[in-house]
Structure formats: structure tokens, C-alpha cells
A and B are shown apart, each in its own frame.
Chain A
């Protein structure tokens, strides 16, 4: 093993540890942010008793969930039942590896970084399916079936939108895509590909099971959907995976469409985080503004609008790239 590969292994390990810390910290911050945003949108203060402005609220929740009894329904499949939450959380750590927070803060920059993200983000759907199947509960199974059909459907327009960007830049390396964009907002891809950005942003609501597309865990119909039977840490891991996935899709959107770490002044990871958190705020804003969509509306929007528009956008991009 030569020195170069040792260094690669070292950066990978340090990157993974940093990424796990980043995910956990972000999930805690986002839970607090979500509850504060919900509060302010509904003209309430939100959590404000524990710590300044309630920032320690998610710590209390985490400790509570950690010390909560873990139950398994008597007829559930014990191996798959406990495997599913772990399986939903673990790929997320891998998915954060190719994200370019800044030229320095990139754990791993492969040529096919975008493909890596698109390939492994599908494992989350598998975890949802396993959780729903192994719980031996009708609501869990309905939730899982909805989750699978929804994620499979929304992956296609998402892919088409991402592919248009890949066409435009001729690479699947996220760092290079950011490099080719400029610092000022009109040099970002969101200006050359507004339709792709719109399709991507709608699709990520379906991909991350966020309201208004949170049908796999629709409270009004399915109790709690695929995680109905999970208590304590099983539920917490699903929760963590959902927030980590939100951060992930917003980070990918930042790199693809919003110029990544580049800003008008002083390039760096702060621009990346500010843009990603702006998108996360919009996701929360949407959640607390719109009611849940019906399932036929959800799929009609996907198959009748997003998919044809995405295909047309891709065709137009290919045409323009060939022409100029």
C-alpha cells in the first residue's frame, strides 16, 4: 500500500466521522428549527423553555427517545424489524461523501459522485418497505406500499432534471459542476435551467416523504404509516434518516443549481450551508402551509406534468448543447 492510498483511507475515515457528526448535529438543529418555524407560522412562540429560545429542546427529545422502551409486535419478523431503521440511516452517511461543501471540505470526490448519490438514495425506499412488511401491521404495509410507489415515481423526473445539468456541464463530478458555475446568482445553473430546478425541487418533496407529499406516514389515514410499530430508537433512526435526507437533497440542489460554495464575496463552505439552509427553510415553509395531497393528485402531478416537462427540458438541453 503506497503513501497515496494511505492518505486516501485517512481522509475517508476522517470524512466519515465528520459526516456522522454533521448529520447528527444537523438533524438536532433541524428538529428545533422545524418546531420554531411551525410555531412562527402559526403565530405561536414554539419551544422556548429549555435553553435560550428552546435550543435544547431536541436534546431532551433525543434523550427521551434513547431511554424509551423498544417494543416489537409479537408477530413481527424480528431480524428485518430491527434491521430496517438501521438500513434507512446508514446509506445516508455514504451519500454525504461526494458533497463538495468547499474545495477543502470534500470527503471524497469521485468522477461519478452524482451517480453514487442517485444510486444509494434508493436504499432508503427499501428500508421503508422492509419496515412496513416486517411490522405485521396493516397501516405499516399500506404506508410502505405508498412510499415505494411514490419514491419510484418521483425518482424519474428527479433523474431527468439532474441529467439536464449533467448534459450542460459534461460531468457527473459535483465539485466540477460547482467549479463551472460563477459566484453571482445569474451565473448559477438555476438561471440557465429554471425548469429543471423547479422539477427537482418538487420531486424532492416526494423523495423525502415531506408534506404535502407525506403520504407514507399520513396521520389521518394510516396512524403513523410505515413506522407505526416503531418506538424509541427505531423511530428516532427513521426520524434522523428523514432529516438527513432533507439535508442531502438540499445540499445536492445547492451544488447543482445554486453555485455551491461560491458566492458574490469570499467563497467558502458558509455559502454552501447558507444556501442549503435557505432551501430547507422553504421545505419547512411548504410543509406548514399546504395540506397533504391526495394520492391520485400526487401521481397525476408526477406522470402527467413533471415527467413530460422533464423529458422536454432534457431534449431542449441536448439540442442547445449540440447546437452551440
Chain B
């Protein structure tokens, strides 16, 4: 990763992608039930940065329909949203606004880096590049990475399933028949079982 000008963007948040710990822990079964309910009510925040946002809109439409999993309620106010889908290229000028939006989200909150630009800068990671934040995880703790340029709508749906998995500890939506998804290798970074090697 290219060295970034620290005077412009100071490192704000640690890059440990974890779900916020609850202030008051609940007993086991109740905790799981609450998390199960949360996982079927992931309301994303209405904001898109670049072309990935077009794919994000596609997921809400008739062909893919995010609402099947209760995630179609795009809330315009960060106070009412659960999931921040960083869909697109994060420019340096926009980075403070994105950090502020993240800070306005009430806990529990989740961040998804959608597309190669949000993950690592994507096509903008070249020498002497000065305007683009190379990876949103340098400024926010990211929970789920959805690669692609842009990712297909199915990939974004899979990203939501991974948020569900992170909440409840297992995959809630069945893998379609005939599709070989190697679930050992998932998109959740910081998973001890993930060696980072591609199958």
C-alpha cells in the first residue's frame, strides 16, 4: 500500500474488524436469539459512492430482492441503520464524511467494504496516486469484504449472509443446490481459520 499523507487523513479507527461488544451481555440463548433477530433485520444505510452503488440498487430490485432476508429497508438516517455498505471509491476528500457517518451509527453496527476500490483501492492503487484512500479499512473497522469490480448482486447478497454468519456463528441461508461454495474460505477477515489462500 502506498504511504498516505498522514496530515490529511490521520488514522482514526483501528482496523480490527469486530462486531462491537455489548455493554450489558445477555445470557447465552437470549443473546443468540437477539442476534438471530438482528441478522434478519439488517437495515443498510442509503449511500453509494461509485458504480458499486448501481449494483447495490440492483440487489433491491425484483431479480435479486434483498427484502427476502429483511434487508431492503434502506434507512436514510445513520441513526436507524445497522449496516454501512461502503459501495465504491473512497476519495480522500470524502473520507472524513464517511468516518463521521460511521460514528453516527448506533451500536451494533457493521461495515461492509463492497468492491475492489473500497477493499484496497482497486484500479487506483498505482504509483504517485494522491486522491484515493487505498482501502476503507484504513479508516474504518470493516466486518465483511465483498470483492469484485463491481461485485455481482449475488456477491453482495453473500456479503449480507456473511454478516448474518458473523452474528449467529453459522450460515442461515442454505447454499443453492448445485453450487459448490467452499465455506471454509470465507470473506470474513480475522477469522482464525482463514489462511488467506485461495482454493
Report the tally of A-B residue pairs with Cβ distances under 8 A. 91
A22 CA / B103 CA spacing, docked (Å): 37
A224→B76 contact, CB < 8 A:
yes
B51 at the interface (CB under 8 A from A): no
Per-position binary interface string of chain A over residues 33-44, scored 1 when its CB falls under 8 Å from any chain B CB and 0 otherwise = 001001100111
Kindly report which residue of chain A lies nearest to residue B81, judged by CB atoms.
A231
Nearest opposing residue in chain B for A219, CB measure? B76
Residue of A nearest to B46 (CB): A219
A265 → chain B closest CB, angstroms: 38
Chain B contacts of A35 at CB under 8 A? Answer: 67, 72
- B16 close to A (CB within 8 Å): no
How distant is B40 from chain A, measured CB to nearest CB, in Å? Answer: 4
- A49–B40 alpha-carbon span in the complex (Å): 9
B71 CB, min distance to chain A CBs, angstroms: 9
Would A47 and B79 count as touching, CB distance under 8 A? no
Interface size bracket, A side:
35 or more
Residue of B nearest to A46 (CB): B67
A45-B65, A235-B80 as given contacts; A69 in contact with B107, CB under 8 Å: yes
Max chain A Cβ within 10 angstroms of own Cβ: one of B40, B62, B79, B173 = B79
List A contacts of B41 (CB < 8 A): 57, 60-61, 63-65
Nearest neighbor of B23 in chain A, beta-carbon distance: A69
Residues of B contacting A63 with CB < 8 Å? 33-34, 37-38, 41
User: Does A50 contact B80, Cβ atoms closer than 8 Å?
Assistant: no
B170 CB to nearest A CB, Å: 15
User: Does B100 make an interface contact (CB < 8 A)?
Assistant: no
A122 within 8 Å of B by Cβ? no
- Which residues of chain B from 43 to 85 have any CB-CB distance to chain A below 8 Å in the complex? 46, 61-62, 65, 67-70, 72-73, 75-77, 79-80, 82
Best-surrounded residue of B33, B61, B72, B76 (most CB of chain A within 10 A): B76
Task: Note all chain B residues with C-beta closer than 8 A to A61.
Answer: 37, 41, 70, 73
12 pairs, A vs B, C-beta closer than 8 Å: A35-B72, A38-B67, A43-B62, A46-B65, A47-B70, A49-B69, A60-B41, A68-B107, A68-B108, A224-B77, A224-B79, A230-B79
